[in-house]
Amino acid sequence: MEDCIFCKIIAGEIPSTKVYEDDDVVAFLDITQTTKGHTLVVPKKHYRNILAMTAEESAELFSKVPQIASKLVDKLHAKGMNILQNNEEIAGQTVFHTHIHLIPRYDENDGFIAKFTAHDYDLTEIAKQING
């Protein structure tokens, strides 16, 4: 896509700091480092988000994640890893080209907070709505 920053990075029009690349996928350091080594794993083909990909296309993308994440943990001495994938603005997607965030974790005060609030929903009703 013409105005997509990730497409421009993939085309070499905008510089990036790559940590992995093959024929289908590129991984580069996020310019906004949430933690040291925050990396984006991006398919070279443009998709708005994971919802626009087939199972095979998304499987190819996700198949690269363990290798890249393990390398980040090993080389940067991280204690863990958050792996995130946001779809649409309401979910925090800001660049509309599918990408996976790999966020190495070092301690509780490393700058990244993931907090989930529990709600008392009727799970049976939700399942009926999904499956009905």
Question: Domain range spanning residue 63?
Answer: 5-131
Count CB atoms within 10 A of the CB of residue 111.
Answer: 13
Looking at residue 38, its pLDDT comes to 98
Which of 129, 62, 128 shows the shortest CA–CA distance to 101? 62
Looking at residue 108, its pLDDT comes to 86
> 45-66, pLDDT tens digit by residue?
999 999 999 999 999 999 999 9
Supply the CATH number for residue 119's domain: 3.30.428.10
| Dihedral (CA of 130, 86, 63, 97) sign | positive
Number of structural domains the chain divides into:
1
Q: Is 10 exposed, middle or buried (0-12, 13-18, 19+ CB in 10 A)?
A: buried
pLDDT interval class at 129 (50, 70, 90): very high
> 66-107, pLDDT tens digit by residue?
999 999 999 999 999 999 999 999 999 999 999 999 999 999
pLDDT interval class at 10 (50, 70, 90): very high
pLDDT of residue 30 exceeding 90: yes
Is 77 tagged catalytic? no
Answer whether 80's CB lies under 8 Å from 105's CB.
Answer: yes
Q: Which of 46, 77, 99, 101 is catalytic?
A: 99
pLDDT of residue 2 exceeding 80: no
pLDDT of residue 13 exceeding 80: yes
